[in-house]
């Protein structure tokens, strides 16, 4: 029999109130609270806390508090990336962020999904799909990336856009749902 954590990471329906998952959430909440309470002058403490919270984070990544995530350990962030104030990464499934990626303020990257059937939702079932953000992507302020999406390298997503499906490399996408309006020249 598989655990709820194994089901969650496999993208299958799972119950979020599982004791093992609850302990992982509590661990992450404690580390986030400590990170979000740091001062701008405490760069090494911030880096240490992120190293403990996140699955993989390059040494030169900058994340401005406040920062929010579910588990943290399913997030990977590449070198030179910058995440501005108020970013939320719900990592129920893996979130992979490439190198030199820029997030504007209040960007949301959301891997969780919920069943459409009301009976399953009432019974507490959830699922998730991984998200991949390629190298040198820029997500404008307030952009939202939904479960299962891959954004290709060098793509720009406009402020407030809602990305519901994959975006190819080297394009500019805007709107809700996000649509490609041109290539990056």
What is the pLDDT, as a whole number, of residue 59?
Answer: 87
Is 83 within 8 Å of 103 (Cβ atoms)?
yes
Write out the catalytic residue numbers: 114
Backbone angles phi, psi at 23, to 5 degrees: -65, -40
Three-class HEC string of the chain: CCCHHHHHHCCCCEECCCHHHHHHHHHHHHHHHHHHCCCCCCHHHHHHHHHHHCCEECCCCEECCCEEECCCCCEEECCCCEECCCEEEECCCCEEECCCCEECCCCEEECEECCCCHHHHHCCEEEECCEEECCCCEECCCCEEECCCEECCCCEECCCCEECCCECCCEEEECCCCEEEEECC
| CATH code for the domain of 64 | 2.160.10.10
Q: Which domain, by its residues, includes 113?
A: 4-183
What is the pLDDT, as a whole number, of residue 1?
Answer: 66
Please give the Cα distance from 77 to 57 (Å, whole number).
5
Neighbours of 92 (CB within 10 A): 25
What's the gap between Cα 182 and its chain centre? 25
Neighbours of 5 (CB within 10 A): 14
What is the pLDDT, as a whole number, of residue 76?
Answer: 98
Tokens coding 35: 């990170």
Query: Based on the structure, what is the number of domains in the chain?
Result: 1
What is the pLDDT, as a whole number, of residue 185?
Answer: 82
Residue by residue, pLDDT tens for the chain (185 residues) are 689 999 999 999 999 899 999 999 999 999 999 999 999 999 999 999 999 999 999 989 999 999 999 999 999 999 999 999 999 999 999 999 999 999 999 999 999 999 999 999 999 999 999 999 999 999 999 999 999 999 999 999 999 999 999 999 999 999 999 999 999 98
Question: pTM score, two decimals?
Answer: 0.96
């Amino acid at each position: 029999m598989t655990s709820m954590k194994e089901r969650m990471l496999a993208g299958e329906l799972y119950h979020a109130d599982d004791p093992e998952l609850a302990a992982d959430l509590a661990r992450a909440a404690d580390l986030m609270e400590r990170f979000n309470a740091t001062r701008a002058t405490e760069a090494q403490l911030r880096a240490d806390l992120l190293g403990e919270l996140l699955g993989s984070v390059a040494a030169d990544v900058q994340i401005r508090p406040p920062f929010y995530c579910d588990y943290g350990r399913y997030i990977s962030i590449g070198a030179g990336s910058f995440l501005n104030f108020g970013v939320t990464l719900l990592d129920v499934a893996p979130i992979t962020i490439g190198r030199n990626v820029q997030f504007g303020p209040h960007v949301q990257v959301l891997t969780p999904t919920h069943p459409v059937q009301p009976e399953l939702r009432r019974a507490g079932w959830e699922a998730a799909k991984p998200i991949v953000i390629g190298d040198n992507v820029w997500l404008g302020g307030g952009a939202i990336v939904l479960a299962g999406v891959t954004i290709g390298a060098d793509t720009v997503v406009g402020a407030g856009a809602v990305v519901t499906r994959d975006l190819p490399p080297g394009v500019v996408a805007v709107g809700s749902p996000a649509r490609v309006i041109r290539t990056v020249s």
